[in-house]
Copies of this chain bind each other. A is one copy, B any other.
């Protein structure tokens, strides 16, 4: 099993799920496109998606670049923590934005870690 590709694809799928929940919340809370404000709970779903997007654009390239310099399965394991962290983040944020810290740390942390691993890999080769 190519765990690295699996983690990358699950991260993309997880983000797609968050985006779908925004679409559903649009209907449920009566926020018509192109507006992205107007109901507090809709805005939470929207911020979960946006914040995940903001992290995902770092996560995917860092994951793939880190795997050029470190064993793919170690890299995939760090990526798996991100997947868990984002799930915790989304659940907590929608319930109550103030409770989003743990999930944030558990997903931004692994992302930072992958970026640093890749940087260390590049610099060690110099």
Contact = CB atoms under 8 A, between A and B. Distances in A.
A12 B112 CA distance: 10
A106 interface: no
Interface in A13-41: 13, 15-16, 19, 32-36, 40
A119 interface: yes
A8 B65 contact: yes
A93 B32 CA distance: 13
Given A33-B100, A97-B32, A125-B1, A9 B118 contact: yes
Contact of A54 (B19, B35, B111, B122): B19
A61 B118 contact: no
A98 to B, nearest CB: 8
Given A8-B65, A54-B53, A68-B5, A13 B119 contact: yes
A92 to B, nearest CB: 12
B5 A122 contact: yes
B58 A12 contact: yes
A33 B115 CA distance: 26
